[in-house]
Amino acid sequence: MSNSPEITQLVDRFGRTVDYLRISITDRCDFRCVYCMSEEMTFLPRAQILTLEEINYIARAFAELGVKKIRITGGEPLVRRGVLDLLENIGKIESLNELVLSTNGSKLVEMAEALKNTGVKRINISLDTLDAAKFKQITRTGVLATVLKGIVAAKQAGFERIKINAVILKNRNHLEVCDLVQFAIDNAIDISFIEEMPLGVINSHDRAEVYYSSDSIKSDLKQKFQLNSIEEQTGGPSVYFKVAGTVTRVGFISPHSANFCSTCNRVRLTVEGRLLLCLGNEHSVDLKKVIRASPGNMEKLKQTIIEAMNIKPEKHEFDLKEQPVILRHMSATGG
Ligand code: SAM
Ligand code: SF4
């Protein structure tokens, strides 16, 4: 039993309740998407990253502090050995409402069914283009057909409300936004468009030059689809619309054009065990140090997490013209 039972919720200095944790379980990936990684990446040595047991332990601490939703991400979470056991263990935490996963889809053909059996409720699959050559350009190593088959496998496994995430870059894939929405409609799934964020040093493009705003995407879509506003919130940063006459919802994640910080309910656990209080700032607390210095001391871990809420910044500091503002890549961060 907890010695601090009066605290069942994490609340920061600005009155925001934190009930959503995103965990990066690996910085490794079988893709090298141009907005996420450099072509040559140096990955972290094993001793520096959390073990699966440590991740599970920290997830439990957060659940005891009122976190209701956990997203497992990376890097590519499905390339980490033991990921299914980890998901099964986290899925058993009773107080959690939702265990969800982000993936690039490359391993879904083999893993979708086993994933469904772990207790994962929903999955997000990245898909930026429907053109095989462009897919190769953007992901550098990915194969479009494999991911498309993965999406089919996820549907067959019975996942509900599958969502595609598409990062839109001007003159790379911005002309495809209507086709991507049509793909979502044809497959009865959802889609979110993401504005690129300046995380980590990349070498393929100038981020300010390829910026394509959510408003531009919306006006492109309105040429072909009727988008109706909806109230429904998923607990994430997306603002959603329903495509009239379909089951598909279209979301916009707009860190530059529509700041979402005032309703931020989330924190991130990096692959190295740092609790990151904001994606667009460096404020963090080293939870790995705490659990390795005092193994099994759940109270100490929970107290550290509670105190960390005091340094959660009010808002992110992204600026496309001043690069790189944040040196860590999305893959290590838990995007
Ligand atoms: N590998 C998995 C995937 O691709 O879905 C999970 C990790 S990935 C870092 C999570 C999401 O972050 C993906 O939808 C990806 O497109 C997005 N992402 C990566 N780098 C980004 C950046 N610099 N700006 C905006 N979104 C980014
Ligand atoms: Fe890998 Fe996902 Fe980053 Fe692409 S966005 S390189 S798939 S972690």
- The alpha carbon of 147 and the centre of ligand 2 are apart by a number of angstroms equal to 13
CB 149 within 8 A of CB 119: no
**Tens of pLDDT along 122-152?**
999 999 999 999 999 999 999 999 999 999 9
Where is pLDDT greater, at 281 or 314?
A: 314
* pLDDT score of 174: 95
Identify whether the C-beta of residue 99 lies closer than 8 Å to the C-beta of residue 137. Answer: no
Ligand nearest to the CA of 268: 1
What CATH number is given to the structural domain containing 173?
Answer: 3.20.20.70
Are the C-beta atoms of residues 101 and 154 closer than 8 Å to each other? Answer: no
pLDDT at 326: 58
Split at pLDDT 50, 70, 90, the class of 4 is: very low
- Relative to beta strand 17-18, strand 10-11 is antiparallel
Task: Write down the pLDDT at residue 327.
Answer: 58
Question: Quick check: is 33 in a domain?
Answer: yes
From 4, 77, 23, 103, select the one nearest 266 (Cα to Cα). 23
pLDDT tens, 164-195?
Answer: 999 999 999 999 999 999 999 999 999 999 98
Question: What is the domain count for the chain?
Answer: 1
Would residue 5 count as lying in a domain?
no
The Å distance, Cα 234 to ligand 2 centre, comes to 22
- Cα dihedral 102, 104, 108, 113, rounded to 10, equals 0
Q: Is residue 2 part of a domain?
A: no
Q: Domain containing 106: what range? A: 10-333
| Higher local confidence (pLDDT), 258 or 132 | 132
Q: Is residue 3 part of a domain?
A: no
pLDDT digits (tens, 9 = 90+) for 209-230: 788 999 999 999 999 999 999 8
Would you say residue 4 lies in a domain? no
- Indicate whether 203 belongs to any domain: yes
Helix (H, G, I), strand (E, B) or coil at 103: strand
Reported pTM: 0.92
Does 1 fall in a domain?
no
Check pocket membership of 25 for ligand 2, CB cut-off 6 A. no
Helices (H) and strands (E) in the chain, counts: 10, 14
